Amino acid sequence: MSIFWPALPEDCTVAGPNGGPHPRRGELIGRGTEMGQIMMALAAARSGAGGALFVTGEPGVGKTRLATEALAMAAETNMVTVRGRAGAVGPPVPYRPLIEALLLLARAGLLPDSGELGSYGPVLARLLSGARDTEADAASHIVVAETMLRLLAVVGARRGCLLVLDDLHDADAGTLAVVEYLLDNIGMQPAALLLVTGCGPCAATELATRARQREAATVLELSPLSHPDVHLLIAAELRVPAAEVCPDLVRRAVDGSAGIPFVVKELVHDLSGRPALPDPHSPSVPPTVADNVRRQTGRLGPLGVELLGMAALFGRRFSLPVLERAIGRDHTQLSAVLRAAVASYLITPDGPGTQWYTFRYRLAAEALLDDLGPGERARYLRRAARALTELHPGLPGAWCEHAAQLHEHAGDTPEAVRLYCEAAGRATGEGAADRAVELLTTAHRLVEPGIAPELHATVLERLLDAVARSARFDRLPGPAAILDTLGGDGGEHDIPAQRRAGLHARLSDIATLTGRPAEALWHLDLARSLLGGHPADQYAALVDLAAVHVELSRLAPDRLRTATRYARRALEAAQRVDLPDVACRALLLLGQLARAQDEPAAVAHFGRARTLALARRLPAPRMAADVHLATVAASHDGRPAPIEQARQEALGMGLLPLAHETGFVLALDRIQHGRFDEARDRIRESAADASRLGLGRHLAMLRLADAVRYAHQGRRAEMRGALERLAPLLDAAPGVRAMSYGMARAFCSLLEEQHEAAGQEFAQALAYDAENPAIGDFGKHGIVLLLGVLAGRMGRRHHAEVAQASVSATRWNHQFTGLAHAVLLGREGRPDEATAAAGKALEAAEPFPMARRLSLRLVAQSAYEDGWGTPVEWLREAEEYFHDAGLQTVAGAGRALLRGMGASVRQRRTGTERVPADLRRCGITVREFEVARLVAERISNKDIAGRLHISLRTVEKHVASLLQKTGHPNRTAFATAARDLVA
């Protein structure tokens, strides 16, 4: 990735990440709270109320930078600004920062005459001359302190004064004694003290703590910058808008610096002079940072240098017990060095206790590692590796990864790769797919195909498998790296042809997942050609599995049969050579292929896959089996909770393709249950994620679900838009074509009373299915049968054929097939059986509000003509639902049918929503409901007429209508029954 940082004019102001002005180089970032407190202290000093602030923090965090900004701010308000710094170079000089401040005032011509200080003038003269007081005791410190206090009062008399004393952790005892005196007496002076010190154990930090405790000073503890602040700092240093900063540079800076501004700046300036970012795995430590780390480490002595040098072999985080064993020293001997290293902020304890430590920032570990010569590295490696295996035989848990990092940093690539692969295998077995990908990515980066082709092929095989499970396609090696591995030019470093066939099979599967069927077929053809005439089972099984996925993406009427044959062949080959993961994948595919026609066989396949996965500790196929079994169960009992639970577990394990496949199932479930808003939220979230990940096939299914959602609400324009968004993805999932007609377009037409159009759309779906059979259901085994029976195109034979398919027994389809059976029974003159069959079908339809009412509207006329069921009640229920849903066309059709049956039709007036649902279904109007409420209160007809301002005769007509519609024998019975209902 190249980086381009265009220069901006000095006065250019652009928006930062949070919409504020873009910072310029030199502007203070991330210290708004601290600067606010400093501003308050400066304002108080100008008004004669002095105060003091300590600024503390680790090295490089920006203490001096904050002090510089405070000086600039004070100068802008015409305050006198003066600064002194304690020095760590050369012999100690008493009162060094105070004398430096005095000399600065003298050079600026701001030093008052000795007479202005009265009896303290000679003390000032002695300080400036460097003469030593012969009575160097506490009393002399107090005299110097009072001199400084009076000096600040004179200097700041007109406009206030800011005195900054920097690096107080290096100050002499006399200076600290003067500072302590000033802290206690500055309150009535027109001056502010800003005292800068490190936060390690020293006299200055103790002074700051005491001052805070007695409220003599405020302590500003500077923390490292946050991620957004690092982003802004980089933009400011490079003088570009934040949006133009390379995201990879920000990630590198945050990871390498831990938010310490000094390190961020040096890293940015080191990288900004290059045409492109260097390999992140071959980092370059800026020379200034390396020198700083070297100086800090050198202060720890030879033992400290050895300790941290060996620790750097482990990476940023290291185990103290292992390090102690490697160095050959116990904790007591190392404790002083550890305390000093922590105090210097080179390392910090990681978690409770002191078993683990981390380098404060990653570049510190890399700088120390760079300083190790080859011989020293090898020596340290042997000692560290021996210590690790002695303390943790077999390298259980995370120790395997730590050992891999150790060998990587020591340059022992083969062992590092072996251990990374071992750690990845363990992560896979524990259901940590993302972690496995990261470990295998590291292993793949380390090994060179031209030097170790077999090892490189092994790593690539495992990496491709992990990527397919997790959808981490961003971790795929570049095309050049893959081609290097695939080779095939006959050179001595070529890997065997059949092994290359296995790699092409894996790449074919990934191409299918990402919605690139042509590429998937290309890899499959190459794999088949590489297998030759006598393929080994372990590679033949992989190629056959890839062939299953390619077949399911192919336009062919026999594709399901062909795919089933390949899946069985893959299963047999995998069983012969004991490849449990491949066998599980074959069983899962067989279950999916069998489910529509033979559900018991599908459940058996899923069950076998689950048993095998549990026995061989394969979490990914076990999770997939759980999802499929839960989906089958939910299709009958209508309870999707186990599917949602399985989806959440898949997400937690990083199995994103499986999670998105499950998300599609759950989205359809919510649509069928009429929970359209929930379905919308699910689809939008999952579609955005699938698009980001590059899961083309899953994105196509989610786009389909969105079209179905709109169709089941009768929203044709939005459905068309969703189908247009689906169109570019149809090649990624060919079976979607039939489903888009049967599940979306046709349902929308039915809700618009366009039955002829719906019939044509279902016919189109059936035609697509004949050309290219779909695994998913699109109505073929449900509503298509019902419409065919109602139209007279289908009869008993068709019903029997549909009933043979397992998918027709799902709860969703049973509502349609059961009503089709009822219609046929009614036409055969068996009304009682027809009514019973309809009752069972409508019981199955209870969870599906839209489909149930649509079915009632469809069969009501046939039921009325053949004398079975309760068609008037059905139509009223359907009419009410569709009216409330805003689907006026189908609601109007229901009212027309009711009139044709001689039934009363409810008027649709304002206020209808106030009528309880049970009364609305009886045809109670708004005015009748108003009367009903008063009848329930036992009010006479005459009084009701007076309250409602209508005639007594009208009231009597409404009461009679209420009794007739609700079936109550008299006014008293209605009042008793309706008392709670109309309250």
pLDDT of the residue at 11: 33
Return the top range by mean pLDDT from 146-160, 240-254, 390-404, 613-627.
613-627
pLDDT of the residue at 17: 37
pLDDT of the residue at 276: 54
User: What is the CATH architecture of 916-978?
Assistant: Orthogonal Bundle (1.10)
**Higher confidence at residue 921 or residue 423?**
423
Query: Which pTM value belongs to this model?
Result: 0.71
Give 769-818 as a 3 state SS string: HHHCCCCCCCCCCCHHHHHHHHHCCCCHHHHHHHHHCHHHHCHHHHHHHH
How many angstroms separate the CA atoms of 828 and 820, rounded? Answer: 12
How many angstroms separate the CA atoms of 433 and 427, rounded? Answer: 7
Span 9-52, pLDDT tens digits: 333 332 333 444 455 545 688 888 999 999 999 999 999 999 99
> H or E segment at 802?
helix 796-804
pLDDT-above-70 percentage for the chain: 91
Taking CA atoms, 743 is separated from 330, 410, 770, 814, in Å, by: 72, 60, 16, 16
- What fold, for 32-221? Rossmann fold (3.40.50)
Strand partners, 194: 53, 164
Helical H segments across 595-640, by residue range: 599-615, 619-637
Q: Is the pLDDT of residue 481 over 70?
A: no
Q: Is the pLDDT of residue 577 over 90?
A: yes
How many angstroms separate the CA atoms of 767 and 785, rounded? Answer: 15
Pairing of strands 356-359, 191-198: unpaired
Taking CA atoms, 898 is separated from 857, 874, 876, 923, in Å, by: 10, 10, 8, 11
Span 157-216, pLDDT tens digits: 889 999 999 999 888 888 999 999 999 999 889 999 999 998 878 888 899 999 999 999
CB 534 within 8 A of CB 578: no
- pLDDT band, very low/low/confident/very high, at 376 (cuts 50, 70, 90): confident
pLDDT of the residue at 483: 66
pLDDT of the residue at 88: 66
Span 821-846, pLDDT tens digits: 999 999 999 999 999 999 999 999 99
Give mean pLDDT, residues 453-473. 89
- pLDDT band, very low/low/confident/very high, at 533 (cuts 50, 70, 90): confident
How many angstroms separate the CA atoms of 87 and 523, rounded? Answer: 69
Q: Is the pLDDT of residue 747 over 90?
A: yes
pLDDT of the residue at 132: 57
Boundaries of every domain in the chain: 1-30+226-281, 32-221, 496-573, 579-639, 653-776, 781-905, 916-978
Q: Which two tokens stand for residue 813?
A: 């389809």
pLDDT of the residue at 681: 93
pLDDT of the residue at 931: 86
- What fold, for 653-776? 1.25.40
Span 712-725, pLDDT tens digits: 999 999 999 999 99
Span 273-324, pLDDT tens digits: 665 555 555 557 888 889 989 998 998 899 999 999 999 988 888 888 999 8
Q: In the block, which residue shows the tokens 């990496």?
A: 463
pLDDT of the residue at 5: 28
**In degrees, to the nearest 5, what angle opens at C-alpha 781 toward C-alphas 775 and 783?**
125
Helical H segments across 214-300, by residue range: 227-238, 247-257, 261-272, 287-298
Give mean pLDDT, residues 603-627. 95
- pLDDT band, very low/low/confident/very high, at 977 (cuts 50, 70, 90): confident
